[in-house]
Chains A and B, each alone.
Chain A
């Protein structure tokens, strides 16, 4: 049986970093799944860009909760997709981003989750983003004020056949 779920790359930060780049993504899969455990020295959102595109080609819709209030929100014509803030403790938070038909010639949609519970404070976010481009996704850029050492990012490729 053919393998349908493969690790494309994985990296664990040995020191702090402001960005994490996943580049040279092959177009041989159907979908991509990014899995990350991360923490930060300072509270800051994670920003997602693909193919180094910083034009207003992104939009997002999400629902969110912080333990006391839940709501839904979104944005259009943005320069990146903004994902809920990292915590400031050494306790890592958990993130996933699923990119669908990333090598196809239609606009690219992706689902993301942000799960961070700090035993008394926390946030949870589920969202859908869109990148309005017909180009295949070949690189992913994650930006944060400071990703802490130990942050781990793995990119999986998923094949339909």
Chain B
């Protein structure tokens, strides 16, 4: 039986970086799964991360999110954005040595239809005000196959050393 879940590529930062890109993603899988462990050097607030596909920066992205922190549940959304969003992750304002973890599932990344995306992330920092759990639905309105993914901090400016990024391909046959 064929292997259905394979690591395409990984990057573990040995020094800080403003973004991380997976390029030349093969079209041989059915779905993509991105797993990240992140922290930025953003000093003002808890960080989230943005996703861009194929280097496209037009307003073809949108997202809807639900988040929980400190006993409060909230929901927010944005349309016609220049990125898809997930999160949360700690910034330098948060407890030292804490990283946020997230999974981003991209089904049918080569199918000629708009691309739905599901993401789930957590940032636990042993701080009642800065620990978050967040789930995102996102959409990239493009029929193009996804061939590259760029992960950027919204504020940053950098992902810090030790941040890790794993991209898996999943086949349905």
**Residues in A lying within 8 Å of B, measured CB to CB:** 3-7, 10, 35, 37, 63-72, 90-94, 96, 113-126, 150, 152, 154, 156
Contact = CB atoms under 8 A, between A and B. Distances in A.
Contacts of A37: 107-108, 116
A91 B3 contact: no
Nearest to A37: B107
Contact of A10 (B114, B135, B173): B173
Contact of A94 (B62, B107, B141, B171): B107
**How many interface residues does chain B have, given as a range?**
35 or more
B21 to A, nearest CB: 23
Interface string B112-123: 011011111000
B65 interface: yes
Nearest to B78: A67
Given A116-B137, A120-B62, A126-B135, A94 B173 contact: no
B75 interface: yes
13 contacts: A3-B1, A6-B1, A35-B105, A66-B64, A91-B141, A94-B118, A116-B116, A117-B116, A118-B62, A120-B62, A122-B64, A124-B64, A156-B170
A115 B118 contact: yes
B172 A7 contact: yes
B108 to A, nearest CB: 5
Given A5-B4, A7-B171, A65-B65, A124 B137 contact: yes
A67 B116 contact: no
Contacts of B135: 63, 65, 113, 115, 124-126
Nearest to A119: B62
A3 B5 CA distance: 9
A100 B170 CA distance: 20
A91 B116 CA distance: 8
A70 B139 contact: no
Interface string B135-172: 11111010000000000000000000000000000111
B88 to A, nearest CB: 14
Contacts of B64: 65-67, 116-117, 121-124
Contact of A3 (B3, B63, B65): B3
